[in-house]
Chains A and B, each alone.
Chain A
Amino acid sequence: MQQGTGGSETEVTWEDQQNINKFGRLNNRFHELDDEIKVAKEAIDNLEDASNELILTDEEVVRFQIGEVFAHVPKEEVETRIEEMKEVNSKNLEKLEEEKESVLAQMAELKKILYGKFKDSINLEED
């Protein structure tokens, strides 16, 4: 998001400035959310792969990573743990997606307002 340097006469009021600030904050939050969603999706994929591997393996005891060590855990317990982690991660992902939607909606609102006032003098698009 950049501020355009048009030559128009439109003055910037305090509310306009606050809207611009808010748009900036939302834009930053949007990028952060994108990154977080990517990480969450990767984590879910890894857990999927892990549970698939688990089904294929015939060992009774699996080395499950807890913290920095790999503890020997019986297969069933590992299955339960992975299920729990998948639950937690997908809830988290849902929350992040929701937040992203709301951020996008707010940004669209602000864009409308700011473009309405400043027309060409402002540029709110991504580089």
Chain B
Amino acid sequence: MHLMTDGGPNHFSRWLLAIGCYSTTLSWADDNLRGYVCILRSLAQPPTAVKSDDRKKPLRSSPCGSSGETPSSDLISRFVKQSNMAAASSSSTESPKTTTERRGIPGAQFVEDVETYLTQTGFDVNSALAFLQERLQQYKLVEMKLLAQQRDLQAKIPDIEKCLDVVATLEAKKGTGEALIADFEVSEGIYSRACIEDNDSVCLWLGANVMLEYSCEEATLLLKKNLENAKASLEVLIADLQFLRDQVTVTQVTIARVYNWDVHQRRIRQIAASSTSKDS
């Protein structure tokens, strides 16, 4: 099962980049108040929003990659090899049945007829099963990664909403002229009272030990933008996961069918063999 992987499709590296982008934005510091009376936690660079360019160009599963992109890790090279293989076999089948890749996740080829599939790919039953099993493992790996990202994003969104709440409260208090008294956590289990005077600005924690002062309106805008980006990224992620799960299902069904076909063939051969031995 050797294939030329010179270059290989660069969509996979773009997908990795997208994954990387998710994780860098999630590494914000999670510190509490440090001597400032009113400090809000906010999230740094807005999570890289929908990679709209990737989505608009569903890549055909054909081995036309940019040269010079040598995949480095094992996972990449295996995925690339097999997506090339799938491409080689799928190029001869009808295209409506072949799912194109999505952001680097190769689509599982739907098998119309097991026998034609096996002759096309030139696999025997065992190697076909092995190939499909390996694909399944890779899909599972990717699924775990995406699930972890989804969890992170789902934790991030309520955080941003809480920050928005606080800014809104401060803005509401601005008009009345009275100070807001709040108890905040100095350390685990230890709280202290703070008297928050009227002021027009809040400080937002941007991560990486950086805090910036914003006016209330700007802070609200920034937080709202972050919230929207987070929600958009979450939607894209969920769509990715659904696509991935579909491919997993297709692969599982294909494995079952190849296996059944093999059992069926053996049975036929056995019957044929026993009937010929009866005759002779």
Given contacts A3-B253, A14-B112, A17-B250, contact A70 B245 (CB under 8 A): no
* Cross-chain contact of B249 among A11, A13, A21, A71 (Cβ < 8 A): A21
Chain B, 240-267, CB within 8 A of any chain A CB:
242, 245-246, 249-250, 252-253, 256-257, 259-260, 263-264, 267
For B12-45 the 0/1 string (1 means CB < 8 A from A) is 0000000000000000000010000000110000
Residues of chain A with a CB closer than 8 A to B91's CB: none
B245 to chain A: which residues have CB within 8 Å?
21, 24-25, 28
Q: Which residues of A are found within 8 Å of B40, using beta-carbon distances?
A: 67
Nearest opposing residue in chain B for A24, CB measure:
B249
Give A17 to B111 CA distance when docked, in angstroms: 10
Q: Which residues from B are CB-within-8-Å of A25?
A: 242, 245-246
Tell me, yes or no, whether A126 is within 8 Å of chain B by CB. no
Q: Indicate which residue in A6, A21, A28 contacts B250 across the interface (CB closer than 8 Å).
A: A21
A10 to B188 CA separation, bound complex (whole angstroms): 62
Give the size category of B's interface with A: 35 or more
Partner of A7, one of B162, B165, B252, B264: B264
Give the A interface residue count (CB, 8 A). Answer: 25
Interface residues of B (CB under 8 A from A): 32, 40-41, 96-97, 110, 112-113, 162-163, 165-166, 169, 180-185, 191, 194, 242, 245-246, 249-250, 252-253, 256-257, 259-260, 263-264, 267
Interface of A with B (CB < 8 Å)?
3-9, 11-14, 17, 20-21, 24-25, 28, 63, 66-72
